Amino acid sequence: MFISGIGRTKFGALSESLPELLYETMYNTLKDSYLNISDIGAIFVSNFLGGPLNGQLHLNSLVSSFLPDINIPIIRIETACASSGSAINQAIHSLQKYENIMILGAEKMTSDNIMGPIESLAMASDRYTDQMNGLIFPASYALIAQQYMQKYGINHEVLELVSLINHQHANLNPLAHFYNKQITLVKISNSPMVASPLNLFDCSPLSDGGAGVILSRNNEDDRDVKILSSQLASDSISITHRKDLTSFKATKIAAEKAYKESKTVPLEIDIFEVHDCFTISELIALEDLGLCHPGEASALIYNGQISRDGKQPVNTDGGLKANGHPIGATGLAQIFELVTQIRGEAGERQINEVTKGLAQNIGGIGGTASITILGKV
Amino acid sequence: MFISGIGRTKFGALSESLPELLYETMYNTLKDSYLNISDIGAIFVSNFLGGPLNGQLHLNSLVSSFLPDINIPIIRIETACASSGSAINQAIHSLQKYENIMILGAEKMTSDNIMGPIESLAMASDRYTDQMNGLIFPASYALIAQQYMQKYGINHEVLELVSLINHQHANLNPLAHFYNKQITLVKISNSPMVASPLNLFDCSPLSDGGAGVILSRNNEDDRDVKILSSQLASDSISITHRKDLTSFKATKIAAEKAYKESKTVPLEIDIFEVHDCFTISELIALEDLGLCHPGEASALIYNGQISRDGKQPVNTDGGLKANGHPIGATGLAQIFELVTQIRGEAGERQINEVTKGLAQNIGGIGGTASITILGKV
């Protein structure tokens, strides 16, 4: 199984509508590939909030409108912020039936809203236990950060460094939401409190944007990248069901399966894309993915291991924090970055000798986790 | 590929919440099967309006909450009113990876609403061309009915008979939304106008309910039913993109592929479940599925061919009109009925000698169409 095409839009507060983002993503993804639309057997659409935010569901049929008389199977998948990862996982299972499958992810969050984004985003959490008690996501992740910081005796400074590194990476990515922004530790440290201990720079932004990939059964182009594994795991939706908030079980289960299937160990992975919806989730991801033991992620930040000149760069596109987080596109943008780096097409932000990359895409409080491992052909 | 378990709830205006409907569906589906939850490799959740209506997305993770420490892959699929059919189609592709897959569909429409059902249902249509111009679904299907009636010279009487037959069927189905209701042609004919020529009894109701199935790679039980084909096709979302409203291209394409794959012709199918969201769509379905030529569906109504004592009974559970239309569960309830009939477990509503059955599940104005053909092992 191979990735034979990638495409994305700029991320940010954009003028485009949701249909326009999907169209632009489709166009860019096909243009990158050696394939034509007539080679595509099926399409998967990844989107989280088209209904509540944009009043637009049935996006599979919307995409069909772009392709008159094509009439191929098109399906929309939603698993909150892990919609991309779930779509990739599902599409892979369908490669036995279709030789090539296109996956399009998009989200329109900054305008065209018929409901508020905060209320809509909360729909990824349990309505009766969490939403109704005010546990919107910044609040839930604040509880996680409190528990993590107390358990391992760290302070907010390490989270500020996570934010800084992601912003530095985004400054090399012209398509990132926060490209060309000069962000300093002082600015980060002094930013307004959102939910203690998380301040504004601990939180990924609302972004508009789209990203897409084409999966192919066979390797027919020298720019193709190999899919070594794709794994999915689930966990309870409510934070009230979790005994330990400092680790996400679904990430660990999916990662263990993915390492096993791809016959790799964490140290063999050259670059990681992790789901840093909040800075604290980047620390948890590093531990759940086995880059270090529980409680030791801070060391990887301080010793530079995950910076772009470190041994295992993380979020070289800027991550959710600074590349942006247009939810339905987020996991696909991670794949876009891994493929770009493995192909050696990352330009100014290219990392040397990237052979293997891993993407972690989660939904809610880790209620869904998708792990994808890619490798050079 | 086989169906090794089916389950559903009562359809109607129920007191249960969306999570409760999903739980009850899961319980009933597992209970019907010879399998245990530990035999299930993955779960698909079919739901349309959990976000806009119930403020609850990420339903895959919600279902994971019912199953502590199971952590299997769970995915939610949404393709408007065809969500069930798309989930079945996708799950089949995943049977190479998982031996058994459970599909759970549910919708909570009559209460617990954070947005209005009319506004929410309209999200299956194009926001910019249709929704914003008032083309909610009764209006769109009224245009379809006008065009059909003019083209083929029929009057409203035949639609009234479609409604009556579905209500008669529902009176033999204790789980139907309109079980035990004495509906007469006079009552149907005199019901309030909704969108001319469609009156109240031309429209399927808002229903709460759930339905589920288990798919298995292997045949290991004498109650198993064989999946002969599952096909999916797409079409443009907006009614403004259609040249002819009297036939749904996606149904025709998916049906043609399904007949071919299953090596059957329409006359060999013993019972049909068709997507009668409005009475007019039942007429169109009969034609698109090849039971008769275009414009001849009325004859099948008048000559009794599709009644329960006819040659090819249609919607023996009462159809969307009278069994009910809890959207995410609708296509799975169709499969529930076919499997029940093929097994010979339909009790009072059992049809003699059912060997093959076909279900047609569509989304929007036929923007998505799923065809499933089942057969006796």
Span B306-335, pLDDT tens digits: 999 999 999 999 999 999 999 999 999 999
Average pLDDT over residues B193-207: 98
**pLDDT band, residue B285 (cuts 50/70/90):** very high
Q: Cβ distance A114 to A55 under 8 Å?
A: yes
- Which residue out of A18, A61, A79 would a mutagenesis test of the B interface target, given it has the greatest number of B Cβ atoms within 10 Å? A61
Nearest CA in chain A to B44: A77
| Cβ pair A96:B94 closer than 8 A | no
Band the pLDDT of B116: cuts 50, 70, 90: very high
The pLDDT > 90 percentage for chain B reads 99
Contacts of A97 in chain B (CB under 8 A): 93
CA distance A195 to chain B (A): 23
Instruction: Identify the CA nearest to A64 among candidates A112, A107, A4, A23.
Output: A23
pLDDT tens per residue, range B83-97: 999 999 999 999 999
Minimal-distance CA residue of chain B relative to A82: B58
Mark the ranges of chain A whose per-residue pLDDT is less than 50.
none
Q: Which residues of B are less than 8 Å from A232 in CB distance? A: 73, 75
Q: Name the closest residue on chain A to residue B18, using Cα atoms.
A: A127
Quote the percentage of chain B above a pLDDT of 70.
100
Cβ within 8 Å, pair B126-A80: no
Q: Return the SS3 of A368.
A: strand
**Number of DSSP helices (H) and strands (E) in chain B, helices first:** 13, 11
What digits encode the pLDDT tens for the residues B225-262? 999 999 999 999 999 999 899 999 999 999 999 999 99
- Does the pLDDT of residue B70 top 90, yes or no? yes
Whether residue A357 contacts residue A373, with contact meaning beta carbons closer than 8 Å, is answered with yes
CA separation for the pair A288, A101 (Å, rounded): 30
Instruction: Quote the pLDDT of residue B243.
Output: 87
Partner-chain contact A250 B71, CB within 8 Å: yes
The sign of the dihedral angle between the CA atoms of A256, A257, A260, A261 is negative
SS3 A46: strand
B93 and A93 in contact by Cβ < 8 A? Answer: yes
Asked if B367 lies within 8 A of A58 by C-beta distance, the reply is yes
B81 flagged as catalytic: yes
Listing DSSP states for A98-153 in one string gives: -SEEEEEEEE--SSS-SS-HHHHHGGGS-TTTTGGGT--HHHHHHHHHHHHHHHHT
Cα distances from A204 to residues A207, B182, B226, B297, in angstroms, run 9, 57, 48, 56
Cβ of A52 within 8 Å of Cβ of B54? The answer is no
Min Cα separation A339/chain B (Å): 25
A68·B253 Cβ contact <8 A:
no
CB spacing of B52 vs A51 below 8 angstroms: yes
Chain B closest CA to A62's CA: distance in Å? 5
Whether residue B325 lies in the annotated active site: yes
Least CA distance to B48: which residue of chain A? Answer: A57
**DSSP category for residue A156:** T
Neighbours of A211 (CB within 10 A): 32
- β-strand A356-363 against A74-77: which pairing, if any? unpaired
Of B63, B96, B234, the CB nearest to A61: B234
Mutant choice from A1, A54, A69, A75 vs B, greatest count of B C-beta within 10 A: A75
Judge: B86–A363 Cβ closer than 8 Å, yes or no: no
Q: How far apart are the CA of A231 and the nearest CA of chain B, in angstroms? A: 8
Q: How distant is the Cα of B89 from the closest Cα of chain A, in angstroms?
A: 10
pLDDT of residue A12: 98
Return the CA Rg of chain B: 19
- The pLDDT mean for chain B works out to 97
Three-class SS state of B130: coil
